[in-house]
A and B are shown apart, each in its own frame.
Chain A
Amino acid sequence: MSNIDSYRRNFLTGIGAVSTMAAAVTIAPGVFLREVQAKPAEKAVSSKVRWGMLVDVNKLKDGGDACIEACKKEHGWGDEEHSNNKQDAQWIRKVTVKEKLTGHEFSLPVMCQHCDTAPCVDVCPTGASMKRADGIVQVNKHVCIGCRYCMMACPYKARSFIHETLTDQKPGTPRGKGTVESCNMCVNRVDAGLNPACVDAAPEAMLFGDLNDPESKISKALKEFGGTQIRADLGLNTGIRYQGI
């Protein structure tokens, strides 16, 4: 087959694919209506869903302390015996901000922002720092070599490194010395149809749902009231949005 022929064939196949997709939209529009629910265990995650979180900072009673405690309890971090302050695991941190002009002060929980174009995924030399099809950014510790490039790359300082041998980890959250870790949006709970632990710890201030579904609570809230990204100037399209910052 000449180059021109193969070009024509590819072009025509492309047209065919586009027209079938269009047909699918017109014939069965209901197919694209989605609800946030647990996926069957044997089914792979799909890019039709993009998980996200909305944090209303004004409604957080304690600036996120309850979220941090719930995260520690869920994933079993925070009681590392031999690590110093600079080495401690920090899946989620309470950041207090003060506006100098007015003196207005508030706190917000900052964790992995689950970027759409995540810098940590870009720089990882082994592919351990990964984004799942449903938008959850996490570390595949099976292939993590502990080089910590992702920690350098993350503009949110969301990642930490495990410096010591651990035992008795939580079954849903394997953690081990020599690997990097961060918030994984409670991927084990999300796959089971539950909210992330922090969202359930501050239900009055946090919302979890599918950003791709215009009918989900989170999408409706974002559409009506908007949500701010931290460091929106970086254009990372984060999955975690805030109100009141």
Chain B
Amino acid sequence: MIFPLQAVRAVPHRTWLRYRFVFIVLAPIMALFFYLRILPTATAIVMSFFRWELIKPAEQFLGFDNYLNLLKDENFRLAFFNTTIFAVATTILSVFLALLLATLLARFVGGRIGAGIEILYFAPVLVSMVPVTLGWREIFNYQHGVLNAMLGGVGIGPQPWLSDQTMALVAVVILSVWKQLGYNLIILLVGMRAIPRIYQEAAAVDGASAWQQFRHITLPLLAPVTLFVIVITTISSYNVFTQVYVLASDVQGAPGKLVRVIVYDIFENGFRFFKMGYAAAEAVYLFLIVLVLTVIQFRFLRGART
């Protein structure tokens, strides 16, 4: 005998029983979630309007003073400048190279050779940041580093990779592009392989060159994935910290001080000077950047779908 599903479900599971189950199961998770995510995020926003120190919370309401003072703060301006240069350079280079590699891999190489090559490019993604940064610290070393030795081989003098502010920023970009490239490559390859071959074959039959196929078929169809990769790389680049902390020590050996980035500045204001309200305002600025990038991504994706 066949009952309509609705009827079967309605009898043993009365609504209030279901609510009780949902409540019992979900309440502890949401409590944890509230305490670990919502509360600190909301507090960060509240704190940003106060003079707030470790032992003196909510000392004085300041309105937008923290925000305005930050705009005049040399350290914050430098951090914002460095981080933006870093994020733009890392994103452009890692996405461009990943696109190039993905196109070549998808077009010319398949099977076991392709998989083998992918692993080589993917290896840096797997290993964690601190050990590889230590490896790069040796490579960038002024006197004994292998990079300066190689540059010497082609007639370029040794570069002060880890003692000059500009060169150190370049060094951090090189390391970060190297680390990010494989991730972007894998994501783009998945997107590229999802494009039905028939489009390219049809275009080839119509006499389109390889470049025209890439320009007019692959690139537009890949746009959402490319945009995703760009946004993810930019956001994670704005949050850069670990590699800078390990790589860019200043002359006194203070970690991360040579290339000041936003998260480092938050860290210093909050935990070295204990100006926590000030640090929170800085974090809100960082969040606004991330938010704008996220909104751009959603806008474009919606545009691409309709």
Asked if A pairs with B, the answer is no
